[in-house]
Amino acid sequence: MSLKPPNALLALSDGPRALADAAFLGITAPLLHRMPRAQKKHSVMVIPGFLGDDRGNALLIRFLRRLGYIARGWEQGRNLGTSSFSEAALRAVIEQLLVEGGGKVSLIGHSLGGIYAREIARMEPEVIHQVITLGSPFGKGHSNASHPSRLYNRMNPQANPHDVEAVLSIPPPVPTTAIYTKGDGVVNWRTSMQEGDYANVHNIEVLGSHIGLNMNAAVWYWIAKKLARI
């Protein structure tokens, strides 16, 4: 199955709509800060999307810390694909979070970062509490269903998405939440949902843009609710 990228209207408007997401977040922030706080030590890593870095997730990380979580970015610089980070360095950050949190780590990944989060949990489920993805194109047919796919493939020539598509579409063996928006102007929203009947998997639709999912009030609400259940 092959899906098409979002139409031109959604693609061109995604950036401006992300600004609207951020503005609405500013209005609702006082209410979000009343969300349930962490009841025990709990570490969280937030992984940026393609071309993003930890600075883009700074507000989300600060929000999680305010709720009492030990939250950090991935500390690997800008996400330019699999060749842009060191697996050993990323593992070192996770191990530090394990020590600081006194147990497992929850992973939150925006777009491509969510695919990394799912694969980390697939390889090492014994150290991961749960995975929350934000507009991550892991579903079948995702190979050509996003606008940045050609750029990503050019920067990561060793990657063959067609060979791994079937594997990526299977959720990791930990509780997994897939948050998506039908207003996604970057990836086809259908690829950001988990298909099939799996235990401990939850699809959640929100209103908003792709770029602004990490600054979306509804996303922050659901992230806080999911983390509080640990």
Write out the residue range of the structural domain in which residue 153 sits.
8-17+42-77+100-228
Domain assignment present for 114: yes
**Among candidate residues 142, 164, 133, the one with its CA nearest the CA of residue 226:** 133
Look at residue 216 and tell me if it is in a domain. Answer: yes
Residue among 50, 5, 15 nearest 188 (CA): 5
Asked if the model's pLDDT at residue 116 lies above 80, the reply is: yes
Does residue 55 surpass a pLDDT of 50?
yes
Average of per-residue pLDDT across 97-109: 94
Helix or strand holding residue 60 (H, E): helix 58-66
The pLDDT value given to residue 5: 87
How far apart are alpha carbons 213 and 216 in whole angstroms?
5
In contact, 194 and 179? CB cutoff 8 Å: no
Domain contains 37: no
43-47: strand order across its sheet? 70-73, 43-47, 105-110, 128-134, 176-180, 201-205
Q: How far is CA 48 from the centre of its chain?
A: 7
- Is the model more confident about 95 or about 161? 95
Sign of the Cα torsion 189, 194, 196, 200 reads negative
- In a domain? residue 35: no
Whether pLDDT at 44 is above 70? yes
- Give phi and psi for 108, each to the nearest 5: -120, 125
- Kindly report, residue by residue over 183-210, the tens digit of the pLDDT: 999 999 999 999 988 989 999 999 999 9
Q: How many domains does the chain have?
A: 1
169 lies in some domain = yes
| CA within 13 Å, CB half, 195 | 14
CATH number at residue 216: 3.40.50.1820
Report helix, strand or coil for 43. strand
Answer whether residue 55 is part of any domain. Answer: yes
Detail the DSSP E strand segments found in the chain: 43-47, 70-73, 105-110, 128-134, 176-180, 201-205
With a cut of 80, say whether residue 57 has pLDDT above it: yes
Dihedral sign of CA atoms 42, 43, 47, 48 in order: positive
pLDDT: which is higher, 218 or 3: 218
Whether the predicted pLDDT of 16 surpasses 60: yes
Residue 172 placed within a domain: yes
- 31 located within any domain: no
Query: Cβ neighbours of residue 16 under 8 Å, at least 6 residues apart?
Result: none
**Per-residue pLDDT reduced to its tens digit, 117-165:** 999 999 999 999 999 999 999 987 655 555 445 544 554 555 555 545 6
